[in-house]
Structure 1
């Protein structure tokens, strides 16, 4: 199945080369990983833009389906997808550039979409942190209260996520600048939208657009590999002396086992001694009882009158 998918993607991409020559001739730059250290400096701005996008997308959808009213399910779907670059609802992230302004980072919005590199991934990650697990709460607020943009921004950024309750810290002077904003061509942006709309459709699983260099090198890897590397880095914090820790835990467990076993044996022996004493006392009492009964019987026989 994987071979069939690879061949299908290869053939489909080659067919597109004729209408995609300017893009395919220049190798597509690898997608960078999110710079998590930049998130505190842009989180509030991302939250404000996120609120604006949710408001605009709901209004646009309502206009498209009027006079029918937008459903809560449709708003929930928007809230779930608005921070996911694989979905069309998150295309707004592709237009934003992170620009250094003194000791601050500013989000500058462009008219066209740009190539998605580390800054794009950083904004996506910040957006996901803002939304967290509150997508249904935001959708419910939008559906029930139908708020204005300012009210939605206050609800999301101050009450719910608290992204804007404190001022962002100053940016360190030794921060490495981000990459410049590279706009996409109109053809590339249009093709990306087509492929996103086809994603998940039967017969078009996981379709992507590749450069000429990718096609020649058969580089059909996952663009999220860098994020996986980040997760691996997080796992690097695991104790290096794991063996020692496990041995200590094992020895502790064995000590406990020995202690419990010894206590059980000692308790058993003590109970056995008490049981033997109790048994001996019962036997003595029963012997005494039997002898007293015999004496009473003998006395009663001797005291009977002779006829």
Structure 2
């Protein structure tokens, strides 16, 4: 019995064979591919219904948590510096995130070769006073140098600053008991009496979701210690920085008064660099170019008047947190020379 090609195609419409044309083969392959993707999608939905439900409810995800941690309390860390290890939700409005933070610590040694941690890197070429942060976390405002009983003083150590000693000092500062993987040292770069240590510190962050449905970091802690209130700490830090900025501006103002007594006029300039070049070192032994927020001080001066200004915590002039010292006295907020 003989069969022609058309009868073979009619009896076996779903099986590809050498008797199918190229277009027919492509159609069948496309059909099978679409069916396979549909089945795979159904399987994924069945396997991960909780994750899809969480996304629908707006629960905190790793990417959002990482971005918020990078910018917590004025920090501006690179994205690679924060690695989210775990997220533990507590209802729909709270969550605890465990993350590994990589940053640098600046160490200094005194004449007795005692090392101490003085600064932590908060962003690109930005450093923060560690003692100020610790005092602010306790709700204290610094009135001068660190006392011998402070956390910085207690964290001093004598010896060659290698990875082991740096790890011990950072752990002690953070309240972490060793041995522990919560502190890891990546690099130690020393130069005479100073050093920069790149370290990774495991940290917990408490997130809360406000009425606006947005997440924010409310607390920070290490080693299961007490939660540090982020907003309160930042407020205290800025209050102390404002106090320091006023004191530094008054020093420059006193130098300007001395300049005028000798010359008969104030420094005429529209920037602080020109001002400091005129005042230092005769009238102002210490060069003060940046305010406590690491921004240049502003200066506008004429022969008979001047205005010195720090833009304050928000970095914008003409706002309520400006710190102004002028030939007419000291003011807070916007002012004109």
Q: TM-score, normalised by structure 2?
A: 0.18
Relative to its length, the structure with more strand (as a share) is 2
Report the structure, 1 or 2, having the larger helix content: 1
Greater relative CO (CA pairs within 8 A, separation 6+) = 1
* The structure with more radius of gyration: 1
